[in-house]
Amino acid sequence: MAKIGVETERRRALIDATIAAIGERRSLDVTMSDIAGRAGVSSALAHHYFGGKGDLLEATMRALLADLSRDTVLALRRAQTPRARISAVIAVNFSVSQFRQETVHAWLAFYLEAQRSAPLRRLLRIYGYRLYSNLMSGLTPLMPRTEAERMAEGIAAMIDGLYIRRALRDGLPHPGSATALVEDYVETKLRQAAG
Amino acid sequence: MAKIGVETERRRALIDATIAAIGERRSLDVTMSDIAGRAGVSSALAHHYFGGKGDLLEATMRALLADLSRDTVLALRRAQTPRARISAVIAVNFSVSQFRQETVHAWLAFYLEAQRSAPLRRLLRIYGYRLYSNLMSGLTPLMPRTEAERMAEGIAAMIDGLYIRRALRDGLPHPGSATALVEDYVETKLRQAAG
Amino acid sequence: MAKIGVETERRRALIDATIAAIGERRSLDVTMSDIAGRAGVSSALAHHYFGGKGDLLEATMRALLADLSRDTVLALRRAQTPRARISAVIAVNFSVSQFRQETVHAWLAFYLEAQRSAPLRRLLRIYGYRLYSNLMSGLTPLMPRTEAERMAEGIAAMIDGLYIRRALRDGLPHPGSATALVEDYVETKLRQAAG
Amino acid sequence: MAKIGVETERRRALIDATIAAIGERRSLDVTMSDIAGRAGVSSALAHHYFGGKGDLLEATMRALLADLSRDTVLALRRAQTPRARISAVIAVNFSVSQFRQETVHAWLAFYLEAQRSAPLRRLLRIYGYRLYSNLMSGLTPLMPRTEAERMAEGIAAMIDGLYIRRALRDGLPHPGSATALVEDYVETKLRQAAG
DNA sequence: AATGAATGAGCCTTCATTCAT
DNA sequence: AATGAATGAAGGCTCATTCAT
């Protein structure tokens, strides 16, 4: 097994440390020293590898997105029907790895920061677009396009809203109940459309 | 008629300035000097009146909550039926004054900050509870309690989620489409419950 | 006697401290902390009053220029003949207050920095122009314009060169010998022109 | 023919890179990384070869001096009379290779740095002494020693002063006009001495 | 011979906060 | 009541330098 390069290793460690720091501090207002300390390196090294705080944050957001993306692709691959695709997307967003306090806090923090940072905003746009199109790929076979669009928007809003609530009330809602809530919304709407 | 005290006037000016500053900066990361400057006073005076930055932020959040609360009370007073009460609550959250970019940004910023500040967290709890119970007062007459609870949670999540989306995509969704989305959710569920 | 404002006082103290620091360190490579320390204040205050290091340096250069300008005006006022005007300009540049090690070092340091800082460059342009036109006001009555121009340039170059030599060799040349050298140049040229 | 050692090659490349960096940055305030990068090597290698930044700067100054020295020797060799020796020395200082912006900036930067670095100061002393004695070798046959000493000092000051002016005003004075100015000084004085 | 990895020290700058007036 | 003056603490960033490989 080839040993991964030291640089790759350090970059990953720094990104993980960033997520951890944000998760614990519950805000992007973390210091480079804190992050570097968690990664077991000097803050100078963090600058050496990433250039600056902004770049490190961007890389972290990118990593978060990549994780979500990977999980989503895997989940969709296992979905055999349009209906299953919808559930897959929902499930991924509330999966254990995505719905961890730490991750949820990081997402929200990035949501806010994106309002000021163009690069972050761009990244979140990508995320929004993917979520939307993944949902649409499951919805359009089941209902008229207009209806599907509205529903995709509703589902997305619900997911985001549940993230907020998750962040605010420590521990609640559980991944399970969150999933159930969104699934119920989907189910009701589908039955209505079918009826 | 008693002239309102200078102090009251200054406090209000400082709180307004805080909201404005947060709205423009799109984050709680505003300086006392900036806020004081907008209010036309020295930063020392802001400390004199509020004690510290945290206290000023808390007072501001409280003012935001009071505004929402007042609007909600007024709207509910005009609602004649349970169904109308639900719509009233939704409408208030997407009303022109509440769904302004500035206000939305402030809400989200406070959401995040609340994770670290116990006083802010307490205030947001109150907000959450009020939203929930107001919704419940409209829902319980129309469906079983368990169903109502779940729905209240769903509506609340959707509202929060739409706030996020509003903050991210400048201008969208419109108050109108946001309202329609949530109303559609309610309507569908009610019809299902009735059917 | 009106007490001068605290701000004016502090600004002056900081500028003096800057000259002292540059003079001792013999370079513009001085720290804000060092400067502030010499002035007996915190570095934060230096920023408060001047905005940043660049601004403080610019203000200092401006003060240096103002001193030179004031001395020059006074000396010229006492000069009764064109010839005396020339000597006055030379004398001022090698006067005790201008030819102090400290001041000379500062001038040279600013000369170099001006190559990179547009504001400083602008200030030095002013200095150069004044020196030139002051010399010309003494030279043109005594010789053809072309000759006068060349001589003004020669005198100016000699003055600058003597500053360098003064900076390099601690203590030498004395103000006296420097003056004598330039005066000799002037005298020789004048005699030639007359002859 | 022995291939020149890699080390010699690298050292020369680093010194050239240092001059280039100083010339471009117009100050000694260049980083080892910048220099090393220009030379196509790692900054660690620069340390390996020179020990530290100070040593590299010293070596660079030495190289500059060697260039000037070589040019001077060549020019003096072609001078047949004392008068020609004087002109040769002047000409070299304003020759194309010496009066390049880059080189002029480097000289001035080193002038200043020499005030803090003993080794650099020593090097500049050597330069000053050589310039002086070269001038004297041309002047003493033509006038009394005291007169010659003063003139050598005047010429040297003028040359230095013209370097400053060259550095400040991009492009001016031309080598030609600079030479003419100094030559005119010399000529006037010689005629006076002769007369 | 050459380099990437890593760091400690230092600097500029910002900001909430205090205090005398 | 209100402010200007002043600061301590902290953070981001840079850079010369060292060291193992």
Extents of the domains making up chain B: 57-194
DSSP states of D68-123 as a string? HHHHHHHHHHH--SHHHHHHHHHHHHTSTTTSSHHHHHHHHHHHHHHTT-HHHHHH
Nearest residue of chain A to residue B153 (CA atoms): A181
Question: What digits encode the pLDDT tens for the residues B126-155?
Answer: 889 999 999 999 999 999 999 999 999 999
Contact C181 D154 (CB under 8 A): yes
Residue C158: its pLDDT value, please?
Answer: 96
Nearest CA to CA, how far is C7 from chain D (Å)? 33
Contact A167 B115 (CB under 8 A): yes
Phi, psi of A98 (to 5 degrees): -85, -30
- Provide the 3-class DSSP secondary structure of residue C144: coil
Decide if A120 contacts B174 (C-beta within 8 A): no
C41 touches strand F (CB under 7 A): yes
- Provide the 3-class DSSP secondary structure of residue C108: helix
A159 touches chain B (CB under 8 A): yes
Interface test with C, best of D121, D185, D187 (most C CBs within 10 A): D185
What is the rounded CA–CA span in Å between residue B12 and residue B25?
20
**pLDDT averaged over every residue in chain B:** 91
Contact A188 B189 (CB under 8 A): yes
Q: Which stretch of A163-177, B149-163, B173-187 has the lowest confidence by average pLDDT?
A: A163-177
Tokens 């020609």 correspond to: D84
Decide if B81 contacts B133 (C-beta within 8 A): no
Over chain C (195 residues), what is each successive 10-residue block's mean pLDDT?
74 96 92 97 97 96 94 96 97 92 89 88 90 96 95 95 84 81 95 82
Nearest CA to CA, how far is C11 from chain D (Å)? 27
With both helix axes pointing from N to C terminus, report the angle between C32-39 and C6-25 in degrees, rounded to the nearest 10.
Answer: 120
What is the rounded CA–CA span in Å between residue D84 and residue B47?
79
A193 touches chain B (CB under 8 A): no
Question: What digits encode the pLDDT tens for the residues D139-155?
Answer: 999 999 999 999 999 99
Question: What digits encode the pLDDT tens for the residues A165-174?
Answer: 888 876 556 8
Decide if A85 contacts A79 (C-beta within 8 A): yes
C156 touches chain D (CB under 8 A): yes
Contact C108 D111 (CB under 8 A): yes
D40: pLDDT strictly greater than 80: yes
A54 touches chain B (CB under 8 A): no
C174 touches chain D (CB under 8 A): no
Question: What digits encode the pLDDT tens for the residues A77-131?
Answer: 999 999 999 999 999 999 988 898 888 989 989 988 888 888 999 999 888 899 9
Amino acid symbol at A164: I
C146 touches chain D (CB under 8 A): no
**Which nucleotides in chain E lie less than 7 Å from some protein C-beta?**
1-20
Contact A27 B157 (CB under 8 A): no
Let me know if chains B and A touch, i.e. at least 3 Cβ pairs under 8 angstroms. Answer: yes
For the CA of A47 and the C1' of F15, the distance in angstroms is 12
A4: pLDDT strictly greater than 70: no
Contact C156 D161 (CB under 8 A): yes
Contact residues for D22 (Cβ-Cβ < 8 A; gap 6+)? D28, D30, D60, D102, D105, D106, D109
What is the rounded CA–CA span in Å between residue D68 and residue C175?
30
Residue D170: its pLDDT value, please?
Answer: 63
> How many percent of chain B have pLDDT more than 70?
96
CA nearest to nucleotide F7 C1': residue: C42
Residue B1: its pLDDT value, please?
Answer: 45
B194 touches strand F (CB under 7 A): no
Decide if A138 contacts B139 (C-beta within 8 A): no
- Provide the 3-class DSSP secondary structure of residue C125: helix
Interface test with A, best of B93, B127, B160, B191 (most A CBs within 10 A): B160
For residue B158, give both structure tokens. 């959707």
- Which chains border A (3 or more CB–CB pairs < 8 Å)? B
Residue A188: its pLDDT value, please?
Answer: 94
Let me know if chains B and D touch, i.e. at least 3 Cβ pairs under 8 angstroms. Answer: no
D4: pLDDT strictly greater than 80: no
For residue D106, give both structure tokens. 């480097």
Tell me which residue of B8, B135, B152, B10 sits closest to B75, measured CA to CA.
B135
| Cβ neighbours, 10 Å, residue B53 | 17
Residue C172: its pLDDT value, please?
Answer: 60
Number of helices and strands in chain C (H, E): 9, 0
What is the rounded CA–CA span in Å between residue D50 and residue D34?
15
What is the rounded CA–CA span in Å between residue D180 and residue D186?
10
Question: Under CATH, to which class is A57-194 assigned?
Answer: mainly alpha
CA nearest to nucleotide E2 C1': residue: D45
The mean per-residue pLDDT over the stretch A50-54 comes to 96
Decide if A136 contacts A128 (C-beta within 8 A): no
For the CA of C41 and the C1' of F8, the distance in angstroms is 12
Question: What digits encode the pLDDT tens for the residues B66-90?
Answer: 999 999 999 999 999 999 999 999 9
Decide if B112 contacts A109 (C-beta within 8 A): yes
Tell me which residue of C151, C79, A175 sits closest to D182, measured CA to CA.
C151
Residue C95: its pLDDT value, please?
Answer: 94
Question: Model pTM?
Answer: 0.90
Amino acid symbol at B66: A
Decide if B188 contacts A154 (C-beta within 8 A): no
Amino acid symbol at A93: N
> How many percent of chain A have pLDDT more than 90?
72
Residue C148: its pLDDT value, please?
Answer: 95
Which carries the bigger pLDDT value, residue B124 or residue D168? Answer: B124
Phi, psi of A139 (to 5 degrees): -85, -40
Contact A185 B181 (CB under 8 A): no
**pLDDT averaged over every residue in chain A:** 92
C173: preceding bond cis by omega (within 30 degrees): yes
The number of C-beta contacts closer than 8 angstroms across C and D is: 111
**Closest nucleotide over all strands to A44 (CA to C1'):** E7
Contact residues for D106 (Cβ-Cβ < 8 A; gap 6+)? D19, D22, D23, D60, D64
C108 interaction partners in chain D (CB closer than 8 Å): 111-112
For residue B141, give both structure tokens. 């007459």
For residue B33, give both structure tokens. 């000097």
Decide if A162 contacts B161 (C-beta within 8 A): yes
The DSSP 8-state label assigned to residue B140 in this structure reads G
What is the rounded CA–CA span in Å between residue A33 and residue A41?
9
Nearest CA to CA, how far is C48 from chain D (Å)? 27
Q: Give the confidence band of D181 by pLDDT, cuts at 50, 70, 90.
A: very high
- Provide the 3-class DSSP secondary structure of residue D147: helix
> How many percent of chain D have pLDDT more than 90?
69
Ramachandran assignment for D3, one of left (phi > 0), alpha (psi -120 to 50 degrees), beta (any other): beta
Among the partner-chain residues C115, C157, C192, the one whose CB lies closest to the CB of D167 is C115
| Cβ neighbours, 10 Å, residue D81 | 11
Let me know if chains A and D touch, i.e. at least 3 Cβ pairs under 8 angstroms. Answer: no
Tell me which residue of C167, C161, C172, C183 sits closest to C90, measured CA to CA.
C183
Among the partner-chain residues D105, D153, D156, the one whose CB lies closest to the CB of C115 is D105
Q: How many CA atoms lie within 13 A of A155 on its CB side?
A: 34
Q: How many CA atoms lie within 13 A of B147 on its CB side?
A: 14
Amino acid symbol at D100: R
What is the rounded CA–CA span in Å between residue C87 and residue C139?
11
Residue C86: its pLDDT value, please?
Answer: 97
Nearest CA to CA, how far is D101 from chain C (Å)? 11
Residues in reach of strand E, judged by a CB distance below 7 angstroms, are A 5-7, 10, 40-45, 48; B 30-33, 43-44, 47, 52-54; C 30-34, 43-44, 47-48, 51-54; D 6-7, 10, 41-45, 48
Decide if A75 contacts A137 (C-beta within 8 A): no
Residue D192: its pLDDT value, please?
Answer: 86
**pLDDT averaged over every residue in chain D:** 91
Handedness of CA C47, C52, C56, C59 (dihedral sign): negative
Q: Give the confidence band of D1 by pLDDT, cuts at 50, 70, 90.
A: very low
Q: How far is CA C91 from the centre of its chain?
A: 12
Contact residues for B195 (Cβ-Cβ < 8 A; gap 6+)? none
